[in-house]
Amino acid sequence: MDLLRRLVQTSTVNPSLTPGAPGEAPAVAILESLLRDRAELHRLEATPGRPTLVAIRRGRGAGRSLLFNAHTDTVGVENMADPFSGRIAEGRLYGRGSYDMKAGLAAAVEAFLEASPLAGDLLLAAVADEEFASLGTEELLRHFRADACIVTEPTALDLCVAHKGFAWYEITVEGRAAHGSRPDLGIDANLLIAPVLEALGRIRFDTVHPLLGRGSLHISTIRGGTAWSTYADRCVIQVERRLVPGESPDESIFAAASPHAVRRVFHRPPFAANPETTFGRITFEALAAARGTPPGIAGQTPWFDAALLAEAGIETLIVGHGGGGAHAAEEWADLESVDKLKRTLVQIAKQWCNLPPLAERSSVR
């Protein structure tokens, strides 16, 4: 667990979330030092200071390619007493990023080094910016492909085959500024937003996913007005939808709720995979062997980079360690589960990469 502890003791807080934070470069430097003489390395850095590292162990040329994907960035450390301690106690390792998701990254690195020789290529991507805009995985997909991928986000050693997507919207209501004593001149945009909020609260979602349930909607922020004695000339609300597989981010859902301007700001798709494919069965059996019991087939509510990889045509599953405290004041990873995850990944690589090539092979640069 030396690699995991070193990664946790190294701050990689995402600077898009905490201005001035170091970002992913310190973790990439650690991995480059470890892998430099043991793999083919590619550093992707279209956004300066936000590197993604891709390592490749080339196969014998007669198998299937596999990618391990894990992000190096973390959220901030507000309200954490000792965020980079890497303290170990009672089988747990503590610190920011230990659970989300440096434990998954460390297990993937160790499995990447152990699972060889193979017929097919094995790739490892330590990606930037998953916690904000997924710059790293987007850049990765502009340069590399694989036949299949495991994203090592935490799943408590269950097999995750679905997660929610999300979409962010802004709804703007226009009023007219005037002195607070002149109701004959002023139009209060903050009052005009009230029926919109009530209508949004009445929206119901019909699509039900067996692992994720229904989609949802909430009001994230409300901004309106400039001073006590001034009618608000504008009120802007930010709305987040969480989408289950089968749902669209189409703005038409707001038609009955708001006659005002609706703008979609950002969207990430939901993710769904089939566990009954060859890759799914190999992954299930590898998890069962490491756990000593069959894994659950699970869905997760947060968004992961898995959706981007699947959208790009790479068969993708999510398999990770146990622990707790994602984005919380106390975060920890279960060390026994990290070791089991490493063994699972090694077995998946040996099984998948030694299968005959697919008819339409995914290219590796």
CATH class held by domain 172-266: alpha beta
Q: Are 104 and 124 in contact (CB under 8 A)?
A: no
Domain ranges of the chain: 2-163+270-353, 172-266
Task: Check residue 364 and give its pLDDT.
Answer: 61
Q: Are 10 and 77 in contact (CB under 8 A)?
A: no
Query: What whole-number distance in Å separates Cα of residue 50 and Cα of residue 40?
Result: 20
Paired tokens of 95? 């610190």
Widest pairwise Cα distance in the chain: 81
Task: Check residue 361 and give its pLDDT.
Answer: 57
CA–centroid distance for 306 within its chain: 7
Task: Check residue 256 and give its pLDDT.
Answer: 72
Task: Check residue 254 and give its pLDDT.
Answer: 86
Q: What is the pLDDT along the chain (365 residues), one digit of tens a residue?
A: 899 999 999 999 999 999 999 999 999 999 999 999 999 999 999 999 999 999 999 999 899 999 999 999 999 999 999 999 999 999 999 999 999 999 999 999 999 999 978 999 999 999 999 999 999 999 999 999 999 999 999 999 999 999 999 999 999 999 999 999 999 999 999 999 999 999 999 998 999 999 999 999 999 999 999 999 999 999 999 999 999 999 999 888 888 777 778 899 999 999 999 999 999 999 999 999 999 999 999 999 999 999 999 999 999 999 999 999 999 999 999 999 999 999 999 999 999 999 999 976 555 66
Q: Are 115 and 109 in contact (CB under 8 A)?
A: no
Query: What whole-number distance in Å separates Cα of residue 303 and Cα of residue 268?
Result: 8
Q: Are 130 and 12 in contact (CB under 8 A)?
A: no
The CATH architecture of the domain made up of 2-163+270-353 is 3-Layer(aba) Sandwich (3.40)
Q: Are 112 and 70 in contact (CB under 8 A)?
A: no
Query: What whole-number distance in Å separates Cα of residue 109 and Cα of residue 201?
Result: 45
Paired tokens of 17? 């979330």
Query: How open is the CA angle 356-116-26, to the nearest 5 degrees?
Result: 120
Query: What whole-number distance in Å separates Cα of residue 25 and Cα of residue 222?
Result: 36
Whether the model pTM is above 0.85: yes
Task: Check residue 251 and give its pLDDT.
Answer: 84
CA distances from 160 to 36, 203, 250, 305 (A): 32, 29, 26, 13
